[in-house]
């Protein structure tokens, strides 16, 4: 599928997979509640609801070695941007073309950054060194990206006001 991650799945012996999943869900809901002002609902619905065309990615290195990604459709990205900027439901015309002024990529990158940062504090203890990369954002559908040698992967599907949102974490052993 275009715009998807392509990694092998194995279990790591650090933080258990179920715990990683619980932490990721919890931090996603916290970040959206505080910064976007909306709750996101975890859903079992498959990704057939849409095709992501914006992907934000933050790498982690140290005790937790891997990445956190946020993928969504441009409509969702514009909604996130408007809410973060306190613009309400009606997006100004400027935001219809927000890819060009960078606001949309910026907003999704920051959401990913905050999720990765909060996730890091859950899966690494104070004494464990773990660093975050600066967010990267990819726009388009016809691509795949890989976290090289990644093993354990959690992918969660959320709905934000009826729009799909895919959030994942993955790590190397």
Site residues (vs another protein, CB under 8 A):
30-31, 34-35, 81, 84-86, 102-103, 106-107, 109-110, 113-114, 116-118, 120-121, 126, 132, 134
CB of 29 to another protein, least distance (A): 11
Quote the CA–CA distance of 21 and 84 in Å, as a whole number: 25
Quote the CA–CA distance of 147 and 156 in Å, as a whole number: 17
Looking at the Cβ atoms of 32 and 166, the one nearer to another protein is 32
Q: Residue 107 burial by CB count (10 A; 0-12/13-18/19+): exposed, middle or buried? A: buried
Looking at the Cβ atoms of 7 and 135, the one nearer to another protein is 135
- Other beta carbons within 10 angstroms of residue 15's beta carbon come to 18
CB of 81 to another protein, least distance (A): 7
CB of 72 to another protein, least distance (A): 15
Looking at the Cβ atoms of 53 and 81, the one nearer to another protein is 81
CB of 23 to another protein, least distance (A): 15
Quote the CA–CA distance of 173 and 160 in Å, as a whole number: 32
Looking at the Cβ atoms of 6 and 39, the one nearer to another protein is 39
Looking at the Cβ atoms of 90 and 127, the one nearer to another protein is 127
Nearest alpha carbon to residue 59 among 8, 101, 112: 112
Helical residues (DSSP H) of the chain, grouped into ranges: 17-31, 74-84, 93-96, 98-101, 103-123
CB of 133 to another protein, least distance (A): 8
């Amino acid at each position: 599928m275009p715009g998807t991650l392509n990694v092998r799945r194995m279990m790591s012996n650090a933080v258990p997979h179920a715990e990683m999943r619980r932490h990721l869900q919890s931090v996603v809901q916290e970040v959206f509640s505080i910064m976007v002002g909306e709750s996101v609902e975890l859903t079992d619905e498959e990704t057939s609801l849409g095709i992501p065309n914006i992907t934000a990615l933050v790498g982690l290195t140290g005790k937790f070695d891997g990445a956190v990604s946020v993928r969504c459709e441009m409509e969702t990205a514009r909604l996130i941007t408007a809410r973060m900027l306190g613009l309400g439901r009606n997006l100004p015309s400027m935001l219809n073309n927000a890819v060009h002024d960078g606001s949309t990529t910026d907003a999704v990158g920051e959401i990913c950054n905050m999720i990765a940062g909060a996730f890091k504090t859950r899966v690494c203890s104070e004494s464990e060194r773990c660093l975050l990369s600066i967010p990267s954002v990819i726009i388009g559908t016809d691509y795949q990206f890989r976290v090289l040698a990644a093993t354990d992967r959690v992918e969660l599907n959320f709905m934000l006001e009826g729009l799909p949102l895919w959030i994942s974490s993955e790590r190397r052993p």
